[in-house]
Amino acid sequence: MTLLNKPSFNSIFISTCFALMTFQGFAADKGTVLNHNFESDRLPVETLKNTQVAGWLNAGTGAIGVYVPVDSTDYANTGSHSQVAYLEGGGKIRQGLAAKIVAGETYTLAFDAGRPLDQDSMFVTAKMVANSFTLAQTAVNHTQVDKGNWSTHTISFTADNTLPIGSPIVVEFHNLAFDSSSQVDIDNVQLTATGGLPNTQVRNFDQIEESTTLSVPSDFDDINAALASLHDKFIANDAIVTIQVEDCSNQVYDAPIEILHPHGKQIEILGNTADPASCVLQFNGSSGFDISSKRKLRLLNGFHIKGNRVNTTHGVGATKGASIRLGADTIISGFYNGIEATFNGRIYANTVLINKNAGSGVVSQYSGFVQANGTQSKENDLHGFYAVDGGIIEANQSKGLSNSIHGYFSENFGHIQSQEAEASGNANTGFFATGKSFLDATSGVANNNPTGFQCDYSGYVKQSSSSGSGNVESHVPAVGQYKNACYMH
């Protein structure tokens, strides 16, 4: 299937290269700025303004977004600036590029800065950064740009061995005004290396305007190939791209499937939602799905995601502010941890089946968050649900069954909410909180565990209306009667 010829695609000319792409035989990966003129954002018709910028990270404290400036209202003459990014006081946008630093190359960043008619002051900085090292920067203020006008500015540097050679370049713009009503506009961001981009690198990219389906393996051999086909596509806000795996007979992967597209919130990856056990994604020696750095995936559903119990692997992992949603027709087994959220990563995995992992079924740590209401986590070698080091798990009406240590385990400031949950047949404890952690087992049921409910070392277990049978010890006594005054109420 050739996506460029589908009638649902609106070809738009952009003399830039998608930030995730690389080009063979092209020094320094000179592909430049994604959404350089801020026209890939589809704006609401009623306002012609939004509060996000496609392809750019929101890295500041002030509001950012894209809007359509109006002659005589915003600018004396908008000219070619038909759709632009705005940064209110404190606002900052940042983008990591495919371009990497090569010794001897000179890199030049050009951009337009605009000062709307209603702005008395203006102070914005532009930087190129690599590994937190400032390569070049400039500041533009109201003495350089009249009200209602635009001006073009450039910064550049020549790479030598004192710089982080081989590191990707990051571009950022920051409105340093303290007043939140202060606004600066940015447009036409371009990066060139020595000699400029050769003509062969000026490409036509496509915008996916309507929802479409990419089939595996009839259109693409596997999920990675289907995702790669989207690397030079912009997905309109109201379009959904579905990667549909129709033949699951040979879906074997030796590396994780990474979700990298900046419009992942409009991508779904689907298998057999009627019978997920029949659609196996086999991962040999690696994790299954990985998502990071504030990216999103709209939906992953209809698969048995299966590993071979290798240490440090996970079936689905989200980290650094990224998020992923699993559908109810998902099975995960055979990894070290079934699902794992870390460093503000978020995983939504309600009514999923997770079993037979070498570590724990559901893990949240380092301020990660997992929503696993109605999920079953069973027969894992450690714990069914495990929150640690500030991790949070919401697992109401879930089940932690026949795990080799604990059904629900919260430690070291972890937090588990497991109301109306069941912990049965675990080899140690049903519900256990320790190390200043919290576990809400309200109306929980603990059956046939050596200990039903337990706390120690300032842990707190809330167990009102809970019940249990067949446990050697139904619960641990309250304050002062166990290790270092834990709490069970």
| Residue 8 included in any domain | no
pLDDT score at 199: 32
| Residue 277 included in any domain | yes
| Residue at a domain's end among 203, 236, 268 | 203
pLDDT score at 25: 28
| Residue 137 included in any domain | yes
If asked whether residues 185 and 274 sit together in one domain, one would say no
Question: Are residues 355 and 328 in contact, defined by beta-carbon separation less than 8 angstroms?
Answer: no
| Chain centroid, CA 50 distance in Å | 20
Three-state DSSP string of the chain:
CCHHHCCCEEEEEECCCCCCCCCCCCHHHCCCCCCCCCCCCCCCCCCCEECCCCCCEECCCCCEEEECCCECCCECCCCCCCCEEEEECCCEEEEEEEEECCCCCEEEEEEEEEECCCCCCCEEEEEEEECCEEEEEEEEECCCCCCCEEEEEEEEEECCCCCCCCCEEEEEEEECCCCCCCEEEEEEEEEECCCCCCHHHCEEEEEECCCEEEEECCCCCCHHHHHHCCCCEEECCCCCEEEEECCCCCCEECCCEEECCCCHHHEEEECCCCCHHHCEEEECCCCCEEECCCCEEEEEECEEEECCCCCCCEEEEEECCCEEEECCCEEEECCCEEEEEECCCEEECCCCEEECCCCCCEEEECCCEEECCCCEEECCCCCCEEEECCCEEECCCCEEECCCCEEEEEECCCEEECCCCEEECCCCEEEEEECCCEEECCCCEEECCCEEEEEECCCEEECCCCEEECCCEEECCCCCCCCCCCEEC
| Residue 130 included in any domain | yes
Report the number of distinct structural domains present in the chain. 2
| Residue 1 included in any domain | no
If asked whether residues 172 and 82 sit together in one domain, one would say yes
Q: Rounded to the nearest 5 degrees, what angle is found at the Cα of 181, between the Cα atoms of 178 and 183?
A: 90
| Residue at a domain's end among 203, 234, 267 | 203
Q: In what order do the strands lie in the sheet with 280-283?
A: 252-253, 280-283, 303-306, 330-333, 353-355, 376-378, 399-401, 422-424, 445-447, 467-469
If asked whether residues 283 and 362 sit together in one domain, one would say yes
If asked whether residues 410 and 483 sit together in one domain, one would say yes
Can you tell me the distance from the alpha carbon of 101 to that of 103, in angstroms, rounded to the nearest whole number?
7
* Domain containing residue 423: CATH number: 2.160.20.10
If asked whether residues 284 and 407 sit together in one domain, one would say yes
| Residue 315 included in any domain | yes
If asked whether residues 57 and 133 sit together in one domain, one would say yes
Residue range of the domain that includes 278: 207-488
* Domain containing residue 154: CATH number: 2.60.120.260
| Residue 9 included in any domain | no
Q: What is the pLDDT of residues 248-269, one digit of tens each?
A: 888 999 999 999 888 899 999 9
| Residue at a domain's end among 203, 227, 243 | 203
| Residue 5 included in any domain | no
If asked whether residues 186 and 220 sit together in one domain, one would say no
- Beta strand 429-434 pairing with 406-411: parallel
Question: Are residues 261 and 21 in contact, defined by beta-carbon separation less than 8 angstroms?
Answer: no
If asked whether residues 271 and 315 sit together in one domain, one would say yes
If asked whether residues 183 and 293 sit together in one domain, one would say no
If asked whether residues 331 and 353 sit together in one domain, one would say yes
Question: Are residues 311 and 336 in contact, defined by beta-carbon separation less than 8 angstroms?
Answer: yes
If asked whether residues 49 and 185 sit together in one domain, one would say yes
* Sequence-ordered list of residues with C-beta below 8 angstroms from that of 130, at least 6 positions apart, any chain: 101, 163, 164, 167, 168, 169, 170
If asked whether residues 197 and 214 sit together in one domain, one would say no
Question: Are residues 341 and 322 in contact, defined by beta-carbon separation less than 8 angstroms?
Answer: no
Can you tell me the distance from the alpha carbon of 64 to that of 58, in angstroms, rounded to the nearest whole number?
7
pLDDT score at 484: 58
pLDDT score at 101: 86
- Specify the pTM: 0.62
Quickly tell me which residue has 């697992």 as its tokens.
395
Tens-binned pLDDT, residue by residue, of the chain (489 aa)? 333 333 333 333 333 333 333 332 233 333 468 889 998 888 888 889 999 998 899 999 999 999 999 999 999 988 889 999 999 999 999 998 877 888 888 889 999 999 999 999 899 999 999 988 899 999 999 889 999 999 999 999 988 888 888 888 999 999 998 888 999 999 999 988 874 333 333 334 467 889 999 999 999 999 999 999 988 787 887 899 999 999 888 899 999 999 988 889 999 999 999 999 999 999 999 999 999 988 899 999 999 999 999 999 999 999 989 999 999 999 999 999 999 999 999 999 999 999 999 999 999 999 999 999 999 999 999 999 999 999 999 999 999 999 999 999 999 999 999 999 999 999 999 999 999 999 999 999 999 999 999 988 889 999 888 777 767 665 554 444 455 566 676
